[in-house]
Structures are given as structure tokens and as C-alpha cells.
Amino acid sequence: MTRPRPHGTRRKAREAALKVLYECEARRAQAVDEIPDLTAALVQLPYALTLVRECLNRRREIDARIEPALKNWKIKRLAAIERNILRIGVCESFHLPGIPRAVALAEAVKLAQRFGDAKSGAFVNGVLDAIASQKEKQPGRSPRPDGEA
């Protein structure tokens, strides 16, 4: 019997998390638990539920990382899909152990290519790369090597 590949399961979880984050934003929910039908939908994908909760609980902190990387833009002006993909990418890069930054960036770009418009993948890649570069340039911090959490 073949076991599902872990990255395939995580990719499905990221897609589910994106859909739930989008819905939470549309319904102006501050926590996924405020919308029981969405919470129930995530029971089969525990990583998605973790990702959604972390993104919602740390939204201000995550948005504070994203905003400086947006050239002449405000995060509220972004399309909701791109905004939430960026949140997932930052959350995975900085707040979830075991996810290499390169993987978080690549997966966010794939989400953008699948759910965004023709330019979304390049946009998400540029913003997340700028955020990672800023993190590595901070004094007193050593860069996080790709492949390590």
C-alpha cells in the first residue's frame, strides 16, 4: 500500500487554509472557530487548521512583515487572494517549525499561480523574497539556511 506523499498532503492543506482564510476575511471573522462550518471542513486536514489559526492569531505581526516589502502599496489594497497567500507564506516561513523558508516561498508561489491571476506568482515571489532578504539583513541575526526551520 502506498502512503500519500507528505508534501501533497501539505499542499492540499495550504489550499484549504487559503480558502478558509479568504472566507474568514469575507465574513470578517477574527477566529476560525467563529465559523463552525469552516472549522468542520478542516478536521481532515490538521495542518490546514494549524495554519489558519496561526495566520489569524498572528495577523498583525504577519501583516507588519508584509507591508514594508510592498512598494508603494498598502496591504489592504491587495486582492484578498494575494494578501492571504502572502500571509500563509510569512506564517510558514517565520512561525511554523519544520518548514524550510525555500519550501514556504515555493508553495506560496504555486498557490498564487493556481488561484491568482497571471502575474500573481511573480508578485508573491518578489514580496516574500524581499521579506526573507530583510530578515537576513537584520543586525545580530544570522541568516536562516534553506532546508532548516
Query: What pTM did the predictor assign?
Result: 0.84
Can you read off the three cell numbers belonging to residue 28?
A: 470578517
Range with lowest mean pLDDT among 16-30, 39-53, 80-94:
39-53
Domain assignment present for 1: no
Domain assignment present for 147: no
Q: If you search the block for the grid coordinates 495577523, which residue do you land on? A: 59
- pLDDT tens column, 38-82: 777 777 889 999 999 999 999 999 999 999 999 888 999 999 999
Say if residues 78 and 86 touch (Cβ distance below 8 Å): yes
Closest CA to 17 of 40, 47, 61: 47
Say if residues 53 and 18 touch (Cβ distance below 8 Å): no
Domain assignment present for 44: yes
Domain assignment present for 92: yes
- CATH label of the domain that carries residue 118: 1.10.940.10
Domain assignment present for 143: no
